[in-house]
Structure formats: structure tokens, C-alpha cells
Amino acid sequence: MGMSHTETTPSMFTLDESMLGSYGDFPNTLYLISVGDGKYAANNVTMADTTHNGLAAFPTLDDLTVYSNLLAGLDGDPVRKSFDEARQIAISKPVLDCVFLFIDGAIADVHFVR
């Protein structure tokens, strides 16, 4: 059996989140709500006196359904995207500055794209 080793200078290591298989609390696969014509459900939230407009993303279809039920009248189709695809969608929409990860109807994490 090998012996464990504790590195005394961890600053010499650089980890890329994509190598770890996730981005913060964001899973590699997300669900978005497509409302047609390349548009997706988004939300705005005020944090620390600044309003952020974010693409609404969900780790599961159940979380997407909870969100949709909270917003009666939201009509769209669930679509599966990779985290990077969702990030690129947010980047392509000048009004959006982040991706919101909704779990059980609440924002669990935010990934800023600008």
C-alpha cells in the first residue's frame, strides 16, 4: 500500500475546473427552457445592490418543472445542453451576464460570463 503525501507548497499546482468534470456546483449536463427562435428562459436577481440577468439552468427535469410551476404561464420546451453550451448561450445574449443554477425553485449557484 502506498503512503499518503501532503504537499507543502500547493501553490505550484493549477487545477482547471473542466479537468475536474464540473464548474462549481454546476453539473456537466443542464436543462434549459427553450421558448423558441433561439431564446431561453432567463431571470433577473438583485444581489448586493446590482441586478443580474441570467440564463435559467437546471440540473434535472424535476428542478425545471418546479421552476416552471412557480412561474405560471411560462411556456417552453425542456432542452438538454452541456454546461459549456449553456455558457455560450449566455455569452451570445448581450443582456445576460450569468447562468443561474436553480435547484428546487431557488438559485443554488451563479456562473458569471461577463
* Statement: residue 94 has pLDDT above 80: yes
pTM to 2 decimal places: 0.78
pLDDT in tens, 12-33: 544 444 444 445 669 999 999 9
**How much is the average pLDDT of 64-79?**
90
Average of per-residue pLDDT values in the chain: 85
32 neighbors 38 (Cβ within 8 angstroms): no
Closest CA to 104 of 72, 77, 70: 70
Distances (CA, A) of 1 to 4, 69, 79: 10, 53, 46
Closest CA to 101 of 68, 60, 71, 73: 60
